[in-house]
């Protein structure tokens, strides 16, 4: 292990990788992690390196030795956005793919189309990959678009799922990467708003690309209140004041309708979000970006 908390199983050779696959883990899913790493290493048509971020986990993760793999260790749990930022900083490619440790790429050609699309379209910042479960279905919440538009239809998008995305490194770094303070919840939306405001586009690819077990986001005890608090932060950081108020109010109503028994907790989360809003980080998106997002089907009030 070197002075940066990083060790390598080997080197990637003289040629730089075409894509760095960043996999965040807490070391509690060894079999799934190995499957995720293996699926990345089996990619054809692109040169791949894998960066595994041991996020508050032991450095020894049981990953088979391979010269294309490096492990970056954080002794503290940095949260999802902080861990992904750490992995991106260690990546050597100009394209970064983010993959969850309980997911895997669906086939050996999964990343090739995304890398080629980014090379062909200078303003394309993110390719949002389609997530499917073991039965081939895609959960509605895994389609990064509002409304009933099908998971089987590719096209422009305004958001992406953090564990199933291929991002242009220059775009990621230009807008400062993920907001580490979010720890988890809403960090992808926050990043997407900043990318679109900076002139980058996001495209959803409907080809089944990432296999991920079907899970319920509410399995985390604090999921609802953490998300509500982070929505306040997102609105404060990114939205013009009138839209920020409407956005938070809308999501209070939506969340309360979904979980009426948590109304008091949701109100408390809004209060906590305002009290702890990240000082010095307010940079509202342009009204032209608001119009663009609305035309793409996602006005930034929902």
Do 134 and 248 share a structural domain?
Answer: no
Same domain, 11 and 120: yes
Same domain assignment for residues 95 and 206: yes
Task: Show which of 188, 215, 242 is a domain's final residue.
Answer: 215
> Is residue 222 assigned to a domain?
yes
- Please check whether residues 90 and 58 belong to one and the same domain: yes
Clarify whether residues 89 and 200 are in a common domain.
Answer: yes
> Is residue 83 situated within a structural domain?
yes
- Give pLDDT, residue 47: 97
Examine the domain organization and report whether 186 and 74 are in the same domain. yes
Instruction: Flag whether 18 is in a domain.
Output: yes
Is residue 86, in this structure, part of any structural domain at all?
A: yes
Looking at the fold, whether 26 and 142 belong to one and the same domain comes out as yes
Domain boundary among 150, 184, 215: 215
Residue 15's pLDDT is what?
75
Residues 38 and 185 in one domain: yes
Residue 1 covered by a domain: no
Considering the entire predicted model, what is its pTM? 0.92
The last residue of one of the domains, among 185, 215, 245, is: 215
Question: Which domain does 90 fall in, by range?
Answer: 6-215
Please give the pLDDT value at position 216. Answer: 65
Q: What is the CATH number of the domain that holds 19?
A: 3.90.550.10
Residue 38 falls within a domain, yes or no?
yes
Mark whether 61 and 175 lie in a shared domain. Answer: yes
**Same domain as 233, residue 190:** no
Q: Looking at the 3D structure of the chain, how many domains does it have?
A: 2
In this predicted structure, what is the pLDDT of residue 222? 84
Domain check: are 207 and 229 in the same one? no
pLDDT at 148: 52
**3-class SS letters over the chain:** CCCCCEEECCCCCCCCCCEEEEEEECCCCHHHHHHHHHHHHCCCCCCEEEEEEEECCCCCCCCCCCCCEEEEEECCCCHHHHHHHHHHHHCCCCEEEEEECCCEECCCCHHHHHHHHHHHCCCEEEEEEEEECCCCCCCHHHCCCCCCCCCCCCEEECCCCCCEEEEEHHHHHHCCCCCHHHCCCCHHHHHHHHHHHCCCEEEEEEEEEEECCCCCHHHCCCHHHHHHHHHHHHHHHHCCHHHHHHHHHHHHHHHHHHCHHHHHHHHHHHHHHHHCCCCCCCCCCCHHHHHHHHHCCCCCCC
Q: Are residues 169 and 55 in the same domain?
A: yes
For 93-114, the pLDDT digits (tens) are 999 999 999 999 999 999 999 9
What does the pLDDT read at residue 11? 41
Ordered per-residue pLDDT tens for the chain, 302 residues = 443 454 444 444 567 899 999 999 999 999 999 999 999 999 999 999 999 999 998 878 988 889 999 999 999 999 999 999 999 999 999 999 999 999 999 999 999 999 999 999 999 999 999 999 999 999 888 888 876 568 999 999 999 999 999 999 999 999 999 999 999 999 999 999 999 999 999 999 999 999 999 876 655 558 999 999 999 999 999 999 999 999 999 999 999 999 999 999 999 999 999 999 988 899 999 999 999 999 999 999 99
**What is the per-residue pLDDT for 191?**
98
């Amino acid at each position: 292990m070197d002075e940066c908390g990083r060790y390598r199983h080997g080197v990637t050779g003289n040629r730089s990788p075409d894509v760095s696959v960043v996999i965040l883990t807490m070391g509690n899913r060894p079999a799934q992690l190995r499957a995720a790493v293996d699926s990345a290493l089996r990619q054809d048509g692109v040169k791949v390196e894998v960066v595994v971020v041991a996020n508050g986990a032991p450095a020894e993760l049981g990953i088979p030795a391979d010269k294309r793999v490096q492990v970056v260790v954080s002794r503290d749990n940095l949260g999802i956005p902080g861990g992904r930022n750490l992995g991106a900083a260690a990546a050597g490619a100009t394209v970064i793919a983010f993959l969850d440790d309980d997911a895997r790429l669906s086939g050996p050609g999964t990343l090739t189309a995304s890398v080629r699309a980014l090379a062909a379209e200078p303003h394309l910042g993110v390719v949002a990959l389609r997530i499917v479960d073991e039965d081939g279905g895609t959960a509605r919440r895994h389609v990064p678009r509002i409304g009933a538009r099908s998971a089987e239809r590719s096209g422009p998008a305004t958001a992406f799922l953090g564990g199933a995305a291929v991002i242009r490194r220059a775009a990621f770094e230009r807008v400062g990467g993920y907001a580490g303070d979010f720890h988890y919840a809403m960090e992808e939306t926050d990043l997407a708003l900043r990318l679109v405001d900076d002139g980058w586009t996001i495209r959803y690819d409907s080809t089944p690309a990432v296999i991920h077990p079907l899970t319920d986001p509410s399995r985390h005890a604090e999921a609802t209140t953490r998300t509500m608090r982070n929505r306040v932060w997102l609105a404060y950081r990114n939205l013009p004041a009138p839209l920020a108020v409407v956005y938070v109010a809308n999501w209070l109503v939506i969340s309360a309708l979904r979980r009426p028994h948590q109304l008091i907790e949701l109100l408390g989360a809004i209060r906590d979000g305002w009290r702890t809003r990240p000082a010095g980080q307010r940079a509202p998106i342009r009204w032209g970006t608001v119009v663009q997002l609305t035309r793409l089907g996602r006005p930034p009030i929902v």
